[in-house]
Structure 1
Amino acid sequence: MNDRHTRRFGLGTATCLVMGNIIGGGIFLLPASVAPFGTVSLVAFGVLTVGAVALALVFGRLAERHPDTGGPYVYAREAFGDFAGFLSAWSYWTMTWVSNAALAVAAVGYVHVLLPGHPSKGTDLAVALIALWLPALANFAGTRYIGLVQTVSTVLKFIPLLFIAVVGLFFFDPHNLGAFHEGSGSAFGGMSAAAAILLYSYVGVESAAMSAGEVRDPERNVGRATVFGTIGSAVVYLLGTVAVFGTVAHDKLVKSQAPFSDAVNAMFGGHWGGTVVALAAVVSIVGALNGWTLMSAQSPYAAAKDGLFPAAFLTKRRGVPTFGVLAAGVLASALTVLNYLTGSGGVFEILVLITTFSATVPYLLAAGAQVYFLLTGRRDKVRPARFARDLTLALTAFGFTFWLVAGAGYAAIYQGVLFLFAGILVYAVMAARRTARQEDDRAAAQLPTPRQPEAVPPPAADDAALPRTT
């Protein structure tokens, strides 16, 4: 349905979609999380940024080849067949709605800073559910409002973060830095340990490719939005982490629960930094939920078009797969309710571990698909310089994603593989239904058509002119 609520994303909105999905709530704790490893963690961040940009460039190249909604799913299915495509869609879908629940719960902590007091568990649950369903309502309203919310929220969170990152450099004091490498072991080991925490900072680079069908001129704009969004996020990440490292004393930073708040207080004095950062965090999380809610519907929508997901996911209004949005909202809400009702994070933490592995499956398949396309394409149609460059980028992206898998840890891989294999049952059901439907269609096509009675030809003109005789 095309109406005033449907509008294709331009380059600016697509870039905001990428940045908004990459930068969630985790950035506000990242400096404190990696501080125990020393400043070697900044090196790890730099290495990861190179890998993330390589992956972004690969998604741009793939979007030029297949500018369709579904991104990683489309590439995996085109290269390796239905089963690989299904695994990509299943993993990505799982990752999105479980991550949405995690973001909603994280938002509650920042709301406590803005509205101090002693809220009940029921109040916290209500805040988390509101955080989930407000972005869902924006998605139901259509792509026009998704783009508006995404652009506004990205600007509102990007400006304060960039302000702290840039202004913090003027307050930078080298004495606040800890040792290059903290703890026992080698510096390389410390860098790998820090990287394991930072690895998922760039999840979301595929956002423009996932919504390529809703982007104007996708062959051109998806790649540019992906690279611009990834680089913009990297600037905020790297400069922000450096600014916090240089403004907050290392021994305090290691124990900090709000490193950006401590940085603001160190730069300007007072205790108002926590409120400012908490407000930015809430805006950041709402913007991320707005984008991830759309992502949670795009992958199953693309798979449903090929008969690999239930047909209900094809329901689309105002440019948005509304059933996918509804399904993700219900599942994320159920997980959030379960988290608060059980009183322990046991079930919730297990599913969050699953998402850390699930995010890497579509990336690995997409990078592998690019290698496949390059090696099986007509070499005479590809300039040697571009072929070598694209193959190097694809291999770098594959290596980066493989590192993501290794950094996820044994528990995440174990739980993730179990959940991934559970999807095989869904694939078996959908594949069987599609096969039966195809056989029915073939049988119908082979049925003989009913024989029509032969028409009696009219008499010839010359015969009609002859007189009748008895």
Structure 2
Amino acid sequence: MLDQHHTRRFGLPTATALVMGNIIGGGIFLLPASVAPYGTLSLLAFVVLTVGAIALALVFGRLARRDPSTGGPYVHARAAFGDFAGFLSAWSYWTMTWVSNAALAVAAVGYVHVLAPGHTSSKGMDLAIALLALWLPALANLAGTRWIGAVQLVSTVLKFIPLLFVAVVGLFFFDPDNMGPFNAGGGSAVGGMSAAAAILLYSYLGVESASMSAGEMENPERNVGRASVLGTIGAAVVYLLGTVSVFGTVAHKDLVNSTAPFSDAVDAMFGGTWGGTLIALAAVVSIVGALNGWILMSAQAPYAAAKDGLFPAVFAKRRRGVPTVGVFVGVVLASLLTVVNYTSGSNGVFATLVLITTFSATVPYLLAAGAQLYFLLAGRRDEVRTGRFVWDLVLALAGFGFSFWLVSGAGYAAVYQGVLFLFAGVLVYVVIAARRQSQSQGADGAAAGDGTAAAGDGTAAEARIP
């Protein structure tokens, strides 16, 4: 239970900002250029993916009505399928968060260089910037939920101002001739849309953020679903409007080769080169805000599992409503990975681990959507339904399909590496489960011994009765 004297629960605005901030990190600033080679059909892929993401958000809302506890996907997977499935969900989510946090910190370095073009770059300086990007939001997390909420709200507002500016103002400079062909990649339209979707799929990671922090929210039974849907829709609006505006203001032949599409869009609208500085500043704010939310997420999954004895007990410790040990361990691991990235002389290890996260992120989604299907089909509909069984079943199937699409879009290498890393967690589970069993047997033996002793005392007492 939260200490009401030191913590403040997240309200709906803060929870919505958490979802939006976690979904939109630094990747949006390169997204239009990434999908430009496939043409405008990538916008259609965006719409399809948005529908799937909203369905998954609604599923998380339904599940939170049943159990509004911190841990989200882990809690629901364990309730439906047992300890082992719950552990796999928590393990996958935990590893995904701290590895991706390292990737975000490294991404921030490039944007800082744009903001300070005159300084001399070195590996030592880049490492210091990346570690600073990790530890500043970590300190906000360690200060408690009050500071987490404040940083998330401020960073979300600050990063959306320039993004919405480009998205909305760009429509007034829109030139259809810049859009390029519908299926620029050639071949079948279905194949092109699938290829574009493979790039766009991970734009919606973070839809579960409200569910992960349900225990720290006001009225989570109601607000988890609302924050998940509102945050996902808000992110989708920024994604779609921003991409459309960039498509319409930057010539297609230039956009395909662009390394800063939003900056190019601002320069095309107003001239000059100040757009790069503006977008770089927005990107830094965006990444710091995303790290603020994802650092919290990196602590929530092991916290929930530790409460059930499926992670080391130290992860269950909290201060000011925050699992401080989980925050600290996650940031230390991300920092170590960042150091490896800058000192190993090769990005091979780092790239491999980042590849693993693309698969690891999908495991909790699949298990959560599967849990919703299980509750609906196993005679436990009243726990998660809204009164419309068919609608809830369709949403659960759509959420599962979206999650399955995430797995297929990850690619063979990501799935292969991810499965190996997932199965490595089995050894951790074996150790924890064996220890739990040993402790349980020891407690049962002690209880039995106390009962035998008590019975013996009773027999002795009867023997003394004349």
TM-score of the two chains, using structure 1 as the length reference: 0.95
Letter in 2 for 1:154: T
Q: Equivalents in 2 of 1:2, 1:384: separation in Å?
A: 32
**Contact 1:153–1:286 (8 Å) recurs in 2:** yes
1:201-241: per-residue Cα shift (whole Å, max 9, x none)?
00000000000000011001111011100000000000000
Q: Aligned pair 1:106/2:110, yes or no?
A: no
> Which ranges of structure 1 fall in alignment gaps of 5 or more residues?
458-470
What stretches of structure 2 of length at least 5 have no aligned partner? none
User: Of 195, 198, 213, which residue of structure 2 is paired with 1:196?
Assistant: 198
Per-residue CA deviations over 1:289-337 (Å, capped at 9, x if unaligned) read: 0000000000001001111111110111000001100110110001000
TM-superposed CA distance for 1:381, in Å, is 8.4
For residues 415-443 of structure 1, give each alpha carbon's deviation from its aligned partner in whole angstroms, at most 9, with x where no partner exists: 00000000000000000000011111111
Q: Which amino acid aligns with 1:31?
A: P
TM-fit CA distance, 1:66: 0.9
Taking the aligned partners of 1:347 and 1:267, their CA distance within structure 2 comes to 41
1:24-423 superposed matches below 5 A: 24-117=25-118, 118-378=120-380, 386-423=388-425
From the superposition, tell whether residues 394 and 421 of structure 1 become closer, same or farther in structure 2 (CA, over 3 Å): same
After superposition, what is the alpha-carbon deviation per residue over 1:235-278, rounded to whole angstroms, capped at 9, x for unaligned?
00000000000000000000100000000111111110000000
Which one-letter code corresponds to 1:12 in the other structure? P
Any conservation in 2 of the 1:70–1:210 contact (CA below 8 Å)? yes
Letter in 1 for 2:99: V
Task: Sort the Cα spacing of 1:253 and 1:382 in 2 relative to 1 into closer, same or farther, 3 A.
Answer: closer
Q: How many Å separate the matches in 2 of 1:383 and 1:220?
A: 13
Q: Helix, strand or coil for the counterpart of 1:377?
A: coil
Cα distance in 2 for residues equivalent to 1:351 and 1:363: 20
Among 434, 449, 458, the alignment partner of 2:453 is 449
Letter in 1 for 2:96: M
Counterpart code for 2:72: G
Amino acid at match of 2:225: G
Instruction: Give the 3 Å change call, closer, same or farther, for CA 121–34 of structure 1 in structure 2.
Output: same
CA distance in structure 2 between the partners assigned to 1:257 and 1:355 by the alignment:
24
Count, aligned residues? 458
Maintained 8 Å contact 1:5/1:141? no
Deviation at 1:20, TM superposition (A): 0.6
**For residue 66 of structure 2, what is the amino acid of its counterpart?**
R
The residue type equivalent to 1:245 in the other structure is: F
How far apart are the structure 2 equivalents of 1:113 and 1:382? 49
Pick closer, same or farther for the CA change 1:235–1:382 going to 2, 3 Å.
Answer: closer
Tell me by how many angstroms 1:349 deviates.
0.6
- For residues 261 and 382 of structure 2, what CA distance do their matches in structure 1 show? 54
2:386 and 2:130 map into 1 onto residues whose CA distance is 52
Q: CA deviation at 1:183?
A: 2.5
Shift of 1:4: 4.8
Residue 356 of structure 2 aligns with an amino acid whose one-letter code is: I
- Report what 1:462 is aligned to: none
Q: Deviations over 1:174-200 (max 9, x none)?
A: 000111011232111111111000000
Aligned CA RMSD, in angstroms, stands at 1.7
Task: Measure how far apart 1:136 and its partner are.
Answer: 0.6
**Aligned equivalents of 1:339, 1:104: Cα separation in 2:** 11
Percent identical pairs in the alignment equals: 77
| Rounded Cα–Cα distance in structure 1 between residues aligned with 2:107 and 2:382 | 52
Once the two structures are TM-superposed, the CA of residue 163 in structure 1 deviates from its matched residue by 1.4
**Partner in structure 1 of residue 429 of structure 2:** 427
Who wins on radius of gyration, i.e. which is larger? 1
| 371-380 or 210-219: bigger deviation | 371-380
- CA separation in 2, counterparts of 1:441 and 1:139? 37
In 2, Cα distance between the equivalents of 1:45 and 1:271?
A: 30
- Structure 1 window deviating more from structure 2 (320-329 vs 448-457): it is 448-457
User: 1:5 touches 1:145 (CA, 8 Å); kept in 2?
Assistant: no
Distance 1:257 1:147, change over 3 A: same
Q: Is this contact kept in 2: 1:308–1:427, CA < 8 A?
A: yes
Equivalent residue, structure 2, for 1:14: 15
Check 1:213–1:3 CA distance in 2 against 1; reply closer, same or farther (3 A cut).
closer
Contact 2:22 2:294 in 1 (8 A): yes
Alpha-carbon distance in structure 2 between the residues aligned to 1:100 and 1:106: 10
1: distance between equivalents of 2:234 and 2:22? Answer: 12
CA distance in 1, matches of 2:383, 2:141: 41
Residues 455 and 199 (structure 1), Cα distance of their counterparts in 2 relative to 1, 3 Å cut: same
